[in-house]
Structure 1
Amino acid sequence: MNTTFKCLLLATGIVSLTGYTGYAQSKKDAGGLKNWPKGTSPLEVGKKVAARFVEVPHQNFGRPTPPKTITYPEVCTWYGALTFAKESKDKGLVTQLVNRFEPLFTTEASMVPVPDHVDYCVFGAVPLELYMQTKDQRYLTMGKTIADKQWGPPEGPRVKQPESQDYYNRGLTWMTRMWIDDMFMITAVQAQAYRATGDKKYIERAAKEMVVYLDSLQKPNGLFYHAPDVPFFWGRGDGWMAVGMAELLRSLPKDNPNRARIMQGYKLMMASLLKYQAGSGMWRQLIDDAESWPETSCTGMFTFAMITGVKEGWLDKKTYEPAARKAWLGLITYIDDKGDIREVCQGTNKKNDRQYYLDRERMTGDMHGQAPVLWCATALLR
């Protein structure tokens, strides 16, 4: 057998082996939303990120000083850790999360946010989840009080603002401000109050509010500007809308008159997001800007919304399941050994300036990014 022929056989063998390995990897990665390569399963990743949450102190938007009140990113992470604990049947984790909350009834009572703003009211989602898992009435009392105040008459500094009274008179929350972030902050606590009590008034409030925001803010392509005067599709801003709609639809009764409109807005958004997903599975800081960097908090939020849609049967499985799987596998590559996720856009106000969004600091371990990972892990386990 001549050398040339030996080399040809060797080369053929290498190509064949490489082809087989690639095929095996392809088959492994085609496991839908149930079968995962070692180290990438929602159970493994969720445990790591939840354990990280338990061990870190209360965060203050990346500042070195402790916060005066519990911040909404921590609330979102706490809620995610609790739902993950439920779906993974981890009673030890539930106990740890209960212990983290207990001082808020005593020595840290001043850290419970005053419910006079959407970012403060979302806190109510945590005690309501704790009530559903422990049946401790203290949690229900606290959570319901916050949910009810959100739909009560205007309070605090905004009591004198005519628009607050106008929204209240229209049957909306007086906290309405037409920021896309609101559609998680408002709907989360109301949906939780419905889940905890079974009283439809809570979920009906949230659905009515969502329709107003969709009719006012959703663009023809299904996405949302950060604000009416800021024509940029900022990733995390749109992420709040995606998660808000998915969480609301998950519990909204099928006979609710607003369900069809919300589902329409949700599906339109999901179809648009498919077009902008990168080959890595990620979405970008500015969704439609190819020069923008892959950002983890929005990717986690969009992934959660897609996973939920596939699992609930709202989205076509053949189209969206591969996208959701690719997104999860891409997202978790950003998590380090401690359980912190990197490339999280810092807390961001609106500004009509593209460069402003591109230059935002990229945080590691910021709870804006930790929370969506836990939401995804929960959704995958449901």
Structure 2
Amino acid sequence: MKKYHLFFLLIVSAGFCLGQSKKNDADLKQWPKGASPLEVGQRVAARFIATPHPNFGRPTPPKTITYPEVCTWYGALTFAKESKDKKLRDQLVQRFEPFWTTEASMVPLPDHVDHTVFGSIPLELYMQTKEKKYLDMGLNFADKQWGPPEGPRVKPESHVFHNMGLTWQTRLWIDDMFMITAVQAQAYRATGDKKYIERAAKEMVVYLDSLQRENGLFYHAPDVPFFWGRGDGWMAVGTAELLRSLPENNPHRPRIMEGYKKMMASLLKYQAESGMWRQLIDDPESWPETSSTGMFTFAMITGVKNGWLEKETYGPAARKAWLALISYLDENADIREVCQGTNKKNDRQYYLDRERIKGDMHGQAPVLWCATALLR
């Protein structure tokens, strides 16, 4: 009888430990020293403050602010808000001040998705400072995106999209679903005017219906049948950011949620044992890539935190991904193994041979997004 009781106690104890282990695997609040979102976010944000305006790796400064800097700036601002770091926020405000004077020429024109996303920064600054000059600048970008086609970038199809109630900047590139939805969602958050979030939702449904594959992922382009990590990353972040603010009664919400969940389920399948995702998502011979991993991690954290994804299933994946991602940060808070800027090409080897760079803001931004999402 004593042996039976001992055996029973061992089974119960093992079950309890296993349950505790699974619970810890899904925990998105407790972290090893140096791995907390607060510590990591502070390091990466400080690195951004110290970095001059980047120009896609070129030694010369850019003529206008580039979208990777915008993405990192937005991440640093949201991190400052969630970490209640007023000093960091003030530093980010000061970085913006020259755009009113000596660097005014560096403010991009709202004539392309990669330029219009700039508006998300002044809109965030408005929400944090309540200074109207930021609101006016940000709304100019958001409204010009849906205004009548104008400028040298207008193409015949621009008018077609505009007449459909979409932005004339529509390209049906998956990158757009962060670039477009970011500034429109920010305009909605800043004003409460539903027209902005409704624009973004309608646009997202068109992209999902046009581009999402049966497995939930997205080709880099219709004529390029490869699931490039960062390309899909833009869609993952874009859907999560949009759903975060999209009203529950919006008629497009079920379709967007369906597309988001379908993508997350596929990403769960392709996550490597290390916790990373690869340069080509479904290619086991492809190398682990940090910008896409950061983007997918953000999307999963956001889903778990908002109850869209099952914590028991996606919590461990998100935790493992975060810990894997930050292991690629060096002593300067520069992240390595970031795929260089990449055009489309119907050639697998082209993607495998892309340069792997360090400290590029395509990679820095998602780390800050993840840190923010973990603190929310």
TM-score in same-fold range (> 0.5): yes
1:118 pairs, out of 107, 113, 118, with: 113
Pair 1:270 & 2:241 matched: no
Alpha carbon RMSD of aligned pairs, Å?
A: 1.4
Question: Which residue pairs with 2:243 in the alignment?
Answer: 249
1:328 equivalent among 282, 304, 322? 322
The Cα shift of 1:30 comes to 2.9
Q: Indicate whether 1:107 and 2:79 are aligned.
A: no
Amino acid aligned to 1:164:
S
Q: Post-superposition shift, 1:26?
A: 5.9
Q: How much does 1:27 deviate? A: 8.1
Q: Assess if the C-alpha contact under 8 Å between 1:75 and 1:126 holds in 2.
A: yes
Q: Deviation of residue 38 (structure 1)?
A: 0.4
TM-score by length of 1: 0.92
The one-letter code of the counterpart of 2:111 is D
* Contact 2:26–2:312, Cα closer than 8 Å, also in 1: no
Map 1:41-60; keep pairs closer than 5 Å.
41-60=36-55
Partner Cα separation in structure 2 for residue 158 and residue 49 of structure 1: 35
Q: Equivalent residue for 1:164?
A: 158
Deviation at 1:158, TM superposition (A): 3.3
Report if the CA contact (8 A) 2:25-2:315 is conserved: no
Instruction: State whether structure 2 residue 36 is matched by structure 1 residue 36.
Output: no
Q: How does 1:217-228 map to 2 (within 5 A)?
A: 217-228=211-222
Give 3-state SS (helix, strand or coil) of 1:147's partner: helix
Task: State which of 76, 80, 88 in structure 2 corresponds to 1:85.
Answer: 80
Matches within 5 A, 1:186-225: 186-225=180-219
Name the CA distance, whole Å, in 1 between partners of 2:27 and 2:360.
29
Q: State how far apart, in whole Å, the 1-side matches of 2:60 and 2:281 are.
A: 32
Q: Secondary structure at the match of 1:158?
A: coil
Instruction: Provide the rounded CA distance (Å) in 2 between the counterparts of 1:158 and 1:146.
Output: 16
Aligned counterparts of 1:280 and 1:155: Cα–Cα separation in 2: 48
Q: Would the aligned equivalents of 1:235 and 1:287 in 2 still touch at CA under 8 Å?
A: yes
CA offset at residue 155 of structure 1?
1.2
The 5-angstrom pairing of residues 173-184 of structure 1 reads 173-184=167-178
Percent identity for Structure 1 against Structure 2: 82
CA positional deviation for 1:343: 0.2
Question: What's the TM-score once normalised by structure 2's chain length?
Answer: 0.94
Alignment partner of 1:141 is 2:109? no
Q: Which residue of 1 aligns with 2:5?
A: none
What secondary structure sits across from 1:245 in the alignment? helix
CA displacement 1:71-110 (0-9 Å, x = unmatched): 0000000000000000000000000000000001110000
Q: Which 5+ residue runs of structure 2 have no aligned equivalent?
A: 1-16
Distance of 1:330 and 1:26 partners within structure 2: 18
Aligned to 1:17: none
**Matched pairs, number:** 359
Q: Structure 1 residues 247 and 291 mapped into 2: Cα distance closer, same or farther (>3 Å)?
A: same
> In 2, distance between residues paired with 1:305 and 1:53?
22
Q: How far has the Cα of 1:157 moved from its partner?
A: 1.5
- AA at the equivalent of 1:270: M
Does residue 1:240 correspond to 2:238, yes or no? no
* 1:187-206 superposed Cα distances (whole Å, 9 cap, x missing partner): 00000000000000000000
Matches for 1:297-376 after TM superposition, within 5 Å: 297-376=291-370
| Superposition deviation, residue 156 in structure 1 | 1.1
Shift of residue 29, structure 1, vs aligned partner: 5.6
C-alpha separation in 2, matches of 1:339 and 1:46:
9
Separation of aligned partners in 2, 1:167 and 1:85 = 37
**Partner residue of 1:259?**
253
CA contact (8 A) 1:28 1:36 kept: no
> What is the aligned partner in structure 2 of residue 3 from structure 1?
none
Q: AA paired with 1:231?
A: P
CA deviation after TM superposition for structure 1 residue 28, in Å:
9.9
**2:68 & 2:274 partners in 1: Cα distance?**
26
The alpha carbon displacement at 1:377 in A equals 0.1
Shift of 1:162: 1.9
- Code of the residue aligned with 2:31 in structure 1: it is W
Q: Is there any run of 5+ residues in structure 1 with no aligned partner, and where?
A: 1-21
1:186-236 CA distances to partner (integer Å, 9 max, x unpaired)? 000000000000000000000000000000000000000000010000000
In structure 2, the CA distance between the partners of 1:285 and 1:141, relative to structure 1 (3 Å rule), is: same
Rounded Cα–Cα distance in structure 1 between residues aligned with 2:260 and 2:23: 30
